[in-house]
Amino acid sequence: MIKPSIPKGTRDFSPVEMMRRNYIFQTIRSVFERHAYLPIETPAMENLSTLMGKYGEEGDRLLFKVLNSGDFTQGVEMTEPSPVRLATKICEKGLRYDLTVPFARFVVQHQNELVFPFKRYQMQPVWRADRPQKGRYREFYQCDADVIGTNSLLNEAELMQITSEIFQKFGIDVVIKVNNRKVLSGIAEVLGEADKITDICTAIDKLDKIGKENVCAELLERGISEAAIEKLQPFFDFGGTNAEKLHKLSEVFANSEIGTKGVEELRKMLEYADYLNINTNIEIDITLARGLNYYTGAIFEVKALNVSIGSISGGGRYDNLTGIFGLKNVSGVGISYGAERIYDVLNELELFPKSLENPVKALFINFGEKEELYALSALQVLRNAGVTAELFPDKAKIAKQMTFANSRGIPFVIMAGEDEMKDNVFTFKNMETGEQQKLPIESIVECLK
Amino acid sequence: MIKPSIPKGTRDFSPVEMMRRNYIFQTIRSVFERHAYLPIETPAMENLSTLMGKYGEEGDRLLFKVLNSGDFTQGVEMTEPSPVRLATKICEKGLRYDLTVPFARFVVQHQNELVFPFKRYQMQPVWRADRPQKGRYREFYQCDADVIGTNSLLNEAELMQITSEIFQKFGIDVVIKVNNRKVLSGIAEVLGEADKITDICTAIDKLDKIGKENVCAELLERGISEAAIEKLQPFFDFGGTNAEKLHKLSEVFANSEIGTKGVEELRKMLEYADYLNINTNIEIDITLARGLNYYTGAIFEVKALNVSIGSISGGGRYDNLTGIFGLKNVSGVGISYGAERIYDVLNELELFPKSLENPVKALFINFGEKEELYALSALQVLRNAGVTAELFPDKAKIAKQMTFANSRGIPFVIMAGEDEMKDNVFTFKNMETGEQQKLPIESIVECLK
């Protein structure tokens, strides 16, 4: 018999991992809810027609497709030479690739039941047939908050406030990098390459990773003129405070309407943020572009300090998201937190609360039939007092039961044989120090509460 | 453009539905955890080799299969005439069909990391390509608790205690029906049809649905002798208290070793249950068979009273579950709660807590730029006091904002124009009664906390 396994890029989660993951989800959820974001969920499977063409050609390739039920070959030319085309004929459904497109689909499908502006959060797994590697999985969770149907920059500020609160709760020091798509458009305009904005953004987005020289080489390759690249130089070393950056940008954009609009939006958003006393560093980064394809206003990215991990969260404003499903002129802004990245950071910085490790506070040793019933009564007392405890279910050797307590990290063991039963007490043993004393159950409750 | 939709048999969940569902999951989780069950999760996709052949022929057909990535046709004879065989050649993975088989796979795969007995719970969606109908979906959640690596009947009693606590928390009156596979074997033995136990169980399991006569007809059809069916009659009207039933059974099984063993197990389990003061009716039902194929000891089923819904939970002991993956002699017992059924019962009996309906307690009306900032400060005060509130993000018409509050069911609206700002107060309006008064934010906090 073959040793059982799971598909590559997927994971089982042990109890310790689950408790840590639940702590992450619960922390994020509590902040979302306090800010009046409401939960929704969408099905794991979407119609392929909903998903295809929304993530570019590579995205289409990385979608997991679900084979039609029954005789999927019926009426299909199975010798069709293109596997891509054949796949769409034998598969109508695919697994969710992110939470944004399903959300857009949800909003359009339920537009008559929804009241706008609609603030929703969603925390569900997504699936991508990416090549698995360290920290990248084929099944992973996204935690998204989006508000749709409002243009107010208050929403941008609130998302930064939410971000700040979440990472403060985790104890992770972060910087929130912000930019605005209109600033990027302004830059492209100033360079005289307005129509090449996608190329420019794709290239300068890599500044962090590949450095200035390589970015310039890539720009040249993408057909940006040397003169334009020359003009771009000052933007690479765009230092100073946010106020200084805004001032410099407004000068640069003296003749760019869209650039000026971007600067105004950035300024207003930061004013709101100031007003909300956001307790996290917010830094304008004019090279920040992220995906870009659908962002039209603010762009966010959150980076953890003190760890060598990339961005742990990102988002932005998109004016046309629901347009792909036929609902025009609905603007939204959202942010997404990656549970896996946050997990890795908390782990590396040893920031998981110790309380997550030992849900079970005490183990009753099972000495036999009569003793078992005596222990069972006491177990009820503990549980009713809100203490998680358990009775070893079998009359196994004491050494085995002690080993069980040890390997499970259960901090206390409770024993009762004939002597204890006579005196109506229990031997209460601290597994770390080895200390033990005889106590009535009420005193044990006090110790464990 | 086509109106977007989702695959049949799947569902979107609105905020109200989500809050209700989360209440169900959270209630079940809290009881599981208090009894020291630990959470695990397994991937949505399992290798098809893990899933195939575990749910019978129909199960294999109902598995959702995931198309291999890349060129799935490579090296495959695409003209293979059997779609079932072709499917296994172009699909290596399938969606989880239940939580039991993945759990068995998990235990075998991680046996060296686990400490037995291992008590786990798992609450995740499962997928079945069943024909969708009222109350039956293609994606639905199961909430399972299982303990593996112990033979003690204490575990059975604890699962009944957990069941009792869960439904008491929900306020749903239930009866826990119990049986034992060995009692069923005993009956088959007494009838002189020991080798036909599966047929007998399959038929009598339908007693509730199709009645005695139809069960007998089916037994005859399945090749059970008329003499045996005659002998079965007394078992159909097996009334009395649990003690009386146990007594009668022990007489019937005077010459059946396995039947006697079954009665002993039932008796012991009920003794433990008595000792745990389980506050729910437990009723021996010797026609209860459920799936049966893998149960070897206790069998449970939970039925809600006062509603016309079938079983809302079920489970039992299985001695051989991990055997299918090569790990022998590990006994387990478990129970599964169907979130959808519980949802329907809570809904029908109007048992969902009212508190789930209005997470947002108050809406600040947005009167313009200056007023917005004034409201924003007050909003922080409310949020810091733990009150969920929000500020309408746009300077929309008052009527629109009021309509928003109404359709969302937000119970209070908070307004501040120039007058209020001058006096450092807010107009606080009860949306239900229409009453309003001017109050400082501190008093509003008191009202909403």
Cross-chain residue pair A3–B109, CB shorter than 8 Å: yes
Which of A4, A152, A272 is nearest residue B50 as measured by Cβ atoms? A4
Instruction: Tell me if chain A has a CB within 8 Å of the CB of B368.
Output: no
Chain A residue numbers with beta carbons less than 8 Å from the beta carbon of B448 are none
Gap from B374 CA to chain A (nearest CA, Å): 10
- Long-range contacts from B218-223, C-beta under 8 angstroms, 24+ separation: B222/B196, B223/B196, B223/B199
Give the contacts of B274 (CB within 8 A, at least 6 positions apart): none
Greater confidence (A294 vs A157) lies with: A157
Cross-chain residue pair B359–A33, CB shorter than 8 Å: yes
Question: Most A CBs within 10 Å: which of B22, B45, B92, as the mutation test of the A interface?
Answer: B45
- Measured between CA atoms, the residue of chain B closest to residue A272 is B373
Asked if pLDDT for residue B1 goes beyond 70, the answer is no
Gap from A229 CA to chain B (nearest CA, Å): 39
Q: How many CB atoms lie within 10 A of CB B424?
A: 10
Asked if pLDDT for residue A319 goes beyond 80, the answer is yes
Instruction: Tell me if chain A has a CB within 8 Å of the CB of B119.
Output: yes
Report residue B52 as tokens.
């195939």
Backbone CA torsion sign across B426, B428, B434, B437: negative
Q: Are the CB atoms for B360 and A36 separated by under 8 Å? A: yes
d(CA A242, CA A178): 10
Chain A residue numbers with beta carbons less than 8 Å from the beta carbon of B70 are 83
Surface of A (320-349) touching B: CB under 8 A: 325-326
Report residue A45 as tokens.
């499977």
Question: Most B CBs within 10 Å: which of A16, A50, A66, A383, as the mutation test of the B interface?
Answer: A66
Which of B46, B69, B150 is nearest residue A393 as measured by Cβ atoms? B150
d(CA A426, CA A436): 10
Cross-chain residue pair A372–B106, CB shorter than 8 Å: no
Which of A35, A46, A67 is nearest residue B67 as measured by Cβ atoms? A67
Greater confidence (B354 vs A40) lies with: A40
Average pLDDT value for residue range B68-79? 93
Run of H or E residues at A161: helix A154-170
pLDDT score recorded for residue A3: 83
Which of A6, A34, A91 is nearest residue B47 as measured by Cβ atoms? A6
- CA-based R_g, chain A, Å: 28
Asked if pLDDT for residue A177 goes beyond 80, the answer is yes
Question: Which bin fits A388, alpha (ψ -120 to 50), beta or left (φ > 0)?
Answer: beta
Chain A residue numbers with beta carbons less than 8 Å from the beta carbon of B13 are 39-42
Instruction: Tell me if chain B has a CB within 8 Å of the CB of A26.
Output: no
DSSP A188-244: HHHTT-GGGHHHHHHHHTTHHHHHHHHHHHHHHHTT--HHHHHHHHHHHT--S-HHH
Cross-chain residue pair B2–A125, CB shorter than 8 Å: no
Average pLDDT value for residue range A274-297? 88
| Beta-carbon-side half-sphere exposure of residue B278 (alpha carbons within 13 Å) | 26
Cross-chain residue pair B6–A46, CB shorter than 8 Å: yes
Average pLDDT value for residue range B420-430? 97
Q: Are the CB atoms for A383 and B34 separated by under 8 Å? A: yes
pLDDT tens column, A240-285 = 999 999 999 999 999 999 999 999 999 999 999 999 989 899 999 9
Q: Helix (H, G, I), strand (E, B), or coil: what is residue A440?
A: coil
d(CA B194, CA B183): 12
Nearest alpha-carbon partner for A140 in A124, A152, A116: A124
Helix, strand, coil abundance in chain B, percent, nearest 5: 45, 20, 35
> Considering chain B, what is the average pLDDT of its residues?
93
Backbone CA torsion sign across A160, A163, A167, A172: negative
Tokens 């169907």 correspond to B338
pLDDT score recorded for residue B187: 93
Cross-chain residue pair B390–A35, CB shorter than 8 Å: yes
pLDDT score recorded for residue B358: 79
Give the contacts of A216 (CB within 8 A, at least 6 positions apart): A229, A232
For the ranges A127-141, B14-28, B306-320, the maximum mean pLDDT occurs at B14-28
d(CA A278, CA A162): 9
Virtual torsion, Cα B391, B395, B398, B403, nearest 10 deg? -60
Asked if pLDDT for residue A292 goes beyond 70, the answer is no
Report residue B96 as tokens.
């989880």
Report residue A320 as tokens.
């046309």
Q: What percent of chain B is predicted at pLDDT more than 90? A: 80
Query: Greatest CA separation found in chain B?
Result: 95
- Measured between CA atoms, the residue of chain B closest to residue A378 is B276
Greater confidence (B191 vs A122) lies with: A122
> Considering chain A, what is the average pLDDT of its residues?
93
Run of H or E residues at B200: helix B197-204
pLDDT tens column, B95-122 = 999 999 999 999 999 999 999 999 999 9
Greater confidence (B142 vs A135) lies with: B142
Cross-chain residue pair B4–A109, CB shorter than 8 Å: yes
Chain A residue numbers with beta carbons less than 8 Å from the beta carbon of B65 are 66-67
pLDDT score recorded for residue B46: 98
Surface of B (224-253) touching A: CB under 8 A: none
Lowest mean pLDDT among B100-109, B223-232, B289-298: B289-298
Tokens 């991508």 correspond to A128
pLDDT score recorded for residue A2: 67
Gap from B43 CA to chain A (nearest CA, Å): 6
Angle (nearest 5°) at CA A288 between A286 and A294: 115
Q: Are the CB atoms for A428 and A416 separated by under 8 Å? A: no
Give the contacts of A316 (CB within 8 A, at least 6 positions apart): A181, A290, A295, A297, A298, A299, A300, A333, A334, A335
Cross-chain residue pair A42–B6, CB shorter than 8 Å: yes
Q: What percent of chain B is predicted at pLDDT more than 70? A: 99
Average pLDDT value for residue range B19-27? 97
d(CA B183, CA B204): 13
Report residue A135 as tokens.
């920290």
Which of B39, B67, B380 is nearest residue A18 as measured by Cβ atoms? B39
Asked if pLDDT for residue B291 goes beyond 80, the answer is no
Q: Are the CB atoms for A93 and A43 separated by under 8 Å? A: no
pLDDT score recorded for residue B351: 96
- Determine the length of chain B: 449
Question: Predicted confidence band at A21 (pLDDT cuts at 50, 70, 90)?
Answer: very high
Q: How many CB atoms lie within 10 A of CB A206?
A: 15
Cross-chain residue pair A66–B388, CB shorter than 8 Å: no
Greater confidence (B337 vs B310) lies with: B337
pLDDT score recorded for residue A440: 97
Surface of B (386-445) touching A: CB under 8 A: 386, 388-394, 404, 407-408
pLDDT tens column, B58-73 = 899 999 999 999 999 9
- Measured between CA atoms, the residue of chain A closest to residue B274 is A373
Question: Predicted confidence band at A1 (pLDDT cuts at 50, 70, 90)?
Answer: low
d(CA B149, CA A396): 12
